[in-house]
Structure formats: C-alpha cells, structure tokens
Amino acid sequence: MKRVCVYLGSNPGTDPAYARAADALAHELTRRGLGLVYGGSDVGLMGRLANACLAAGGEVIGVIPELLVEKEVAHNGLTKRYVVASMHERKQKMADLSDGFIALPGGIGTLEEFFEALTWNQLGYHAKPCGLLDVKGFYTCLADHMDRMVDQGFLVPEHRRMVLTDADPAGLLDQFETYVPPKVDKWIEKKRGL
C-alpha cells in the first residue's frame, strides 16, 4: 500500500472532533509513509487534512474538477495536483492513484464517492479496502442501515464485511493491511421468477 484516498467534507462540521480526526489521520498516514489522495480543495476538513499531511512531510495529491478550480477552492501547495474536466474523471483518477479508500465525516458527496468505490469493489473492478473513520459515532447509523440491508436481502454478509470501520485511524489502517476481499458473486439470486 502506497497511497490512501480519503473522502471528507468540504465543510469543517460543527464538532471540533472532526478536525482532530483529520489531524490524527494525517499523522498516521505520514507515520506509515502513506501518501494522501483527496479532492484537491483547501477548505473544510479537506483542507485541514491536506495541510496536516503536508506539515508532517507527507505526499499529498489532489484531484479537482476545473469548475472547482475556477471557484477558487483549489489547494495551491500540494505535492501534485490534477485538474480534470468532470466529477466522473475525478473519481476515476483518485481510484487509479490509490490503494484504499477512507471516508471521514462529510456530506452527500463524501457518501457518494465512498459508495462508488465500495460498489466497484463489490463488482470486482478492484480489490482495495474501503473503510469508515467513525468519529464520535458519525457513521453508526449508516452501519446500522447496512446491517438492515443484509437483514432484508439486499446485501450479502460477505459484502457488508467489506466496510471496515474504526474510530481510530491507526486501527482502521491496521485493518487495511490485513484486508482480504471476499470471493462472492455479487448477484444474490440469478433468477427469482418475478
């Protein structure tokens, strides 16, 4: 593992614990010699994480669409910055550069990007670990909902276990190091006769 992609809020959130979690993740990534791949912004938790990694001497690669550069939210001090035409290109480039995916607290964009990476894993497009950094229980209700998806027959248990979760960055990255992707057909039932 060389680099980890992190999805997180372009806002700081209301609890200072989110910023502290970004700092702690930055420390753990750089301590392990892992580069950061993220959305390329200099605002919110995104900027906080990037700046903390840079301050610790870490590699930070940003991938940002042209539209957001024009809105002046692009970080200008990164190790490398890719400017792409669309959100689709952004997500693909971030995935190509990364060996795993982490979601910190964030909004709908954070969830959308994380679940796309998870879906690609489920479908076999990659076999990289996907994890939630569950700061102060931020993702507890989401984990509960995924358990409900299993209970209701929309998600197989093996795929539910693909979502690694920890409140501590070190614990989550330890899980990444031992991650073994499941070998299960995505389609629960080939035919239902419906």
pLDDT one-digit tens code per residue, 55-89: 999 999 999 999 999 887 999 999 999 999 999 99
* Residue at 189 is within a domain: no
Mean pLDDT score, 39-45: 96
* Residue at 194 is within a domain: no
* Residue at 71 is within a domain: yes
Token pair of 140 as six digits: 């507890």
Q: Which residues are CB-neighbours of 178 under 8 A, at least 6 positions away?
A: none
Q: Is the pLDDT of residue 33 over 90?
A: yes
Which domain CATH number covers 138?
Answer: 3.40.50.450
**Residue (of 118, 140, 116, 119) closest to 129 by Cα position:** 118
* Residue at 86 is within a domain: yes
Q: What is the DSSP letter of 154?
A: S
* Residue at 161 is within a domain: yes
Give me the percent of the chain exceeding a pLDDT of 90: 89
- Give the number of domains in the chain: 1
In the prediction, which pLDDT does 194 show? 46
- Model confidence at 129, in pLDDT bands (50, 70, 90)? very high
* Residue at 190 is within a domain: no
In the prediction, which pLDDT does 71 show? 84
In the prediction, which pLDDT does 131 show? 98
> Could you tell me the sign of the dihedral formed by the alpha carbons of 158, 174, 99, 17, in that order?
positive
Instruction: Give exposure, 143-174, as e/b (b: 16+ Cβ within 10 Å).
Output: eeebeeeeeeeebbeebeebbbbbbebeebbe
CA 39 – CA 50 distance, rounded (Å):
10
Q: For residue 18, which amino acid is it? A: Y
Q: What is the residue-averaged pLDDT of the chain?
A: 94
Token pair of 70 as six digits: 């024009």
> Which residue range(s) make up the domain with 91?
3-176
Q: Is the pTM of this model over 0.95?
A: no
Give me the percent of the chain exceeding a pLDDT of 70: 94
* Residue at 182 is within a domain: no
Q: Is the pLDDT of residue 30 over 80?
A: yes
Gyration radius of the chain over CA positions: 17
* Residue at 24 is within a domain: yes
Q: 164-193 pLDDT, tens per residue?
A: 999 999 999 999 999 998 886 655 555 554
In the prediction, which pLDDT does 190 show? 54
Instruction: Determine contact, residues 87/95, Cβ cutoff 8 Å.
Output: no
